[in-house]
Copies of this chain bind each other. A is one copy, B any other.
């Protein structure tokens, strides 16, 4: 019932892609139920057959965002095998900079529908960070949760402040952020701490 379209041809997926396109082209403020429906070529009431109102559609878009977010984390880790934590941080920030509107939606203020698809996607990104933190031997950070919290918070803080242009005062003329490369002075990666579990 979800991959065998009747009238339109997988309208559910079309609506999510329409939302992602609107986010890229026009930003978060333009992300409207009616706009998504129009871009998908259907009436504004059609989405109700596939999502629980606007919040349901936003939850589906956000879930796709977390899947891409997880991919960005893995890409960053793969690009820096000798320092996976730093690579994950770079991937985290790169994703936010490449998809600012989507990032704002994912971590924005709006309360989304409690969707199992969304939970699973978000947990995917979390699992990547958890796997990375496993190999992080931060001086003073005792347990795994502490290391993960510190890593996540640092990455998210840089990403969010960058998206909101709040770190503008700290960025160098070439656009890079000072301290990002030196941000893990005391880490040393243990062997056997690959990309992530799951």
Q: Point out residues on A near B: beta carbons under 8 Å.
A: 28-29, 101, 104-105, 107-111, 122, 126, 138-143, 145-150, 152-158, 160-161, 164, 166-167, 169-170, 172, 177-180, 182-186
Contact = CB atoms under 8 A, between A and B. Distances in A.
Nearest to A138: B185
A167 B155 CA distance: 13
B166 A158 contact: no
A140 B185 contact: yes
B179 A149 contact: yes
Nearest to A141: B179
B157 A178 contact: no
Contacts of A142: 178-179, 182
Given A126-B169, A153-B161, 9 more contacts: A105-B109, A140-B183, A141-B182, A145-B179, A146-B170, A149-B179, A149-B180, A156-B157, A156-B161
A164 B111 CA distance: 9
A198 to B, nearest CB: 14
A109 B28 contact: yes
Contacts of A184: 140
A103 B51 CA distance: 30
A103 B183 CA distance: 26
Q: Which 3 A-B pairs have the closest CB atoms?
A: A157-B157, A146-B179, A140-B185
A170 B157 contact: no
Contacts of A110: 29
Nearest to A105: B109
Contact of A185 (B139, B157, B161): B139
**Most chain B CB inside 10 Å of its own CB: which residue of A141, A152, A179:** A179
